[in-house]
A and B are shown apart, each in its own frame.
Chain A
Amino acid sequence: MFDKTLTAAAVVATLRDGMTIGIGGWGPRRKPMALVRELVRSKVTDLTVVAYGGPDVGLLCAAGKVKKLIYGFVSLDAIPVEPWFRRAREAGAFEARELDEGLLQWGLRAAAMRVPFLPTRVGLATDVLKVNPDFRTVRSPYADGEVLLAMPALKLDVALLHVDRADRLGNVQTLGPDPYFDEQFARAAQRTYVSCEELCERLDLAHGEDARFNIVERSCITGVVEAPCGAHPTSHPPAYGWDLEHLKAYTQLATEEGGWEKYRAQFIDCSEADYLTRAGGAARIRALALPIF
């Protein structure tokens, strides 16, 4: 057989300045934070980031890695506006390409289907067209002649995802109530790396009864990184909730002089094992209550 496992550092070693990186999950939910932290530790920069953003986008903004951001929102839910994103945005630190949430997945779908665009009404008569000056409209070739937005394909060089389970072959399962758009990120990307809570030799043998929770086939998965609690401080239902205490402290630092350096020293400039210890340990993280909506 074959083996797609590698380390987070090995994933980041494949990334290059100027790449377009898609990040799965949704806001503060099931984000591949261990991979993002490793990316923040690296020298890779000038990235175009595509995401339903949460602290993944916040960390990359704080670290000055983002040249262009393609997003529908960047939020921590309980803290409505991601603080480091807000700070970078108000400072004009990156090129902001704001989209409707549904439009973002439409662009990923176009890339996944290898077509140049997909038509939609969404975005017409709004500033989506103004803030994305390269977007064009298209006229229906049929009798209706309707004018629609031609949402361009959002092609990704790399997608990063976090899942519950994966095996060495690249099979994955997510057990939470919502798969979000991880499948579309994987299909839109040239290469997709997943981090996982639990690494198995073979998912068919270990958890075959849960095969319906397989969000995308393994031919879309390039590499697998074992990263228990790798979504922290975001939630990973049903395993653990988001770490509001951590997120509040992180938010507070965004208003302080030298706040990023403090956060970085404590939670980035260390190994992932040290990170988990500094974040209170795996047992504490796994005991974090799921959020109530």
Chain B
Amino acid sequence: MSHDYSLAELLVVAASEAWRDNGEVLASGIGVVPRLGASLAKLTHSPQLLMTDAEAFLVEEPVPLGPRGDYRPRFSGHMSFARVFDCVWGGRRHVMIGPIQIDRFGQTNLSGIGSYARPKVQMLGMRGLPGNSISHLNSMFVPNHSTRVFVPGEVDIVGGVGYNPARWQSGMNAGHVDLRLIVTDLCVMDFGGRDHAVRVRSLHPNVTLEQVRAATGFPLEAGDDLPVTPAPTAAQLEIIRRLDPHGLRAGVIKGNPPGVRSA
């Protein structure tokens, strides 16, 4: 096995797995790694996926990131923001975003740090988190796995819903909530533990479970003999490099470390 791949490339491949067997859903990867992951999924195991040019049109061939030179995307349909909301509320979508905080319930925050009344740091706002999380499949990307992101207790401002019974009053319908993968720079996790507890699925090369637990503000479930996150294949690397001709993925993780970090 060649070790000639970056951690970011490993994460793209891990992220692409989120969209496997989803059927004809709109695959929305927000940010460099999620977008490359969705594009890789469509070009390999899941051609049924719908995807946009990241503006307003549907494409059947994922659009490379950054300046395009002579490349002109070909459009198969229209996906204005109004139609995105209709698609979201109808449930045929799977989005992967990078929240600033995630808690043990899978609740997410993109609004800010500190109290809502007077945030220490104001971030984007809730954006589409409440609607996405209560309507369709959701996954998360975390380039800096740490207790600052995976917080103890609840996230400071709950934008995306999760599996927190205290937040679901009688009569509210949580039936469409379906949180899938969390891809981080240390591991891949899901919500497959007891009562949807966060569970480690695989560790990246030379990462230990102790290391992951120390960087997480809440308990994690994990089976014995955790697998190592699969390395990208040569074919996958070729696709990633074609989709990211300007190498934006090199800027995702500080120092752009190799996929196999020194033990």
Residue pair B120, A90 in contact (C-beta under 8 Å): yes
Residue pair A100, B82 in contact (C-beta under 8 Å): no
Q: How large is the interface on B (under 10, 10 to 19, 20 to 34, 35 or more residues)?
A: 35 or more
CA distance A133 to B17 in the complex (A): 40
Q: A102-B88, A146-B171, A177-B55 in contact; A127/B159 too (CB < 8 A)?
A: yes
Residue pair A181, B82 in contact (C-beta under 8 Å): yes
Residue pair B55, A178 in contact (C-beta under 8 Å): yes
Chain A neighbourhood of B67, CB < 8 A:
292
CA distance A90 to B122 in the complex (A): 6
Determine the residue in chain A with the shortest Cβ distance to B86: A102
Chain B neighbourhood of A177, CB < 8 A:
55-57, 80
Residue pair B167, A180 in contact (C-beta under 8 Å): no
Residue pair A101, B66 in contact (C-beta under 8 Å): no
The answer to the question of A273 belonging to the interface, with a C-beta cut-off of 8 Å to chain B, is no
The answer to the question of A80 belonging to the interface, with a C-beta cut-off of 8 Å to chain B, is yes
CA distance A5 to B261 in the complex (A): 65
Q: How large is the interface on A (under 10, 10 to 19, 20 to 34, 35 or more residues)?
A: 35 or more
Residue pair B134, A124 in contact (C-beta under 8 Å): yes
Interface hit among A33-41, A71-79, A223-231, A252-260: A71-79
Residue pair B164, A72 in contact (C-beta under 8 Å): no
The answer to the question of B157 belonging to the interface, with a C-beta cut-off of 8 Å to chain A, is yes
For B100-134 the 0/1 string (1 means CB < 8 A from A) is 00000001000110001111111111111111011
Residue from the list A86, A99, A121, A292 in contact with B173, Cβ < 8 A: A121
The answer to the question of B200 belonging to the interface, with a C-beta cut-off of 8 Å to chain A, is no
Residue pair A122, B134 in contact (C-beta under 8 Å): yes
CA distance A121 to B161 in the complex (A): 11
CA distance A121 to B173 in the complex (A): 8
The answer to the question of A92 belonging to the interface, with a C-beta cut-off of 8 Å to chain B, is yes
The answer to the question of A269 belonging to the interface, with a C-beta cut-off of 8 Å to chain B, is no
The answer to the question of A6 belonging to the interface, with a C-beta cut-off of 8 Å to chain B, is no
Q: Which residues from 93 to 141 on chain A have a C-beta closer than 8 Å to any C-beta of chain B?
A: 96, 98-103, 105, 120-128, 130-131, 137, 139
The answer to the question of B146 belonging to the interface, with a C-beta cut-off of 8 Å to chain A, is no
Residue pair A26, B81 in contact (C-beta under 8 Å): yes
User: In the assembled complex, how far is the CB of residue B198 from the closest CB belonging to chain A, in whole angstroms?
Assistant: 18
Q: Which of A26, A102, A128, A178 has the most CB of B within 10 A?
A: A102
Q: Which residues from 191 to 226 on chain B have a C-beta closer than 8 Å to any C-beta of chain A?
A: none
Residue pair B124, A81 in contact (C-beta under 8 Å): yes
Residue from the list A80, A81, A85, A98 in contact with B126, Cβ < 8 A: A98
Residue pair B116, A131 in contact (C-beta under 8 Å): yes
Residue pair A126, B127 in contact (C-beta under 8 Å): no
Determine the residue in chain A with the shortest Cβ distance to B57: A177
The answer to the question of B187 belonging to the interface, with a C-beta cut-off of 8 Å to chain A, is no
The answer to the question of A293 belonging to the interface, with a C-beta cut-off of 8 Å to chain B, is yes
The answer to the question of B260 belonging to the interface, with a C-beta cut-off of 8 Å to chain A, is no
CA distance A145 to B171 in the complex (A): 7
Residue pair B159, A178 in contact (C-beta under 8 Å): no
CA distance A94 to B222 in the complex (A): 45
Q: A126-B130, A177-B56 in contact; A72/B173 too (CB < 8 A)?
A: no
Chain B neighbourhood of A125, CB < 8 A:
134, 158, 161-162, 164, 167-168, 172, 174
CA distance A103 to B135 in the complex (A): 13
Residue from the list B53, B80, B129 in contact with A126, Cβ < 8 A: B129
Can you identify 13 A-B contacts, CB atoms within 8 angstroms? A72-B126, A80-B124, A89-B119, A96-B116, A101-B81, A122-B135, A125-B134, A125-B172, A126-B130, A127-B157, A137-B169, A139-B171, A147-B172
Apart from A121-B176, A125-B174, A127-B116, what are 14 other A-B pairs with CB-CB below 8 Å?
A72-B126, A73-B127, A81-B122, A100-B129, A102-B85, A102-B131, A125-B134, A126-B160, A126-B161, A147-B170, A147-B171, A147-B173, A177-B56, A178-B56
Give the interface of A toward B (CB within 8 A).
26, 71-75, 80-81, 85-86, 89-90, 92, 96, 98-103, 105, 120-128, 130-131, 137, 139, 145-147, 177-181, 292-293
Q: Which 5 A-B pairs have the closest CB atoms?
A: A147-B171, A293-B54, A73-B125, A177-B56, A100-B130
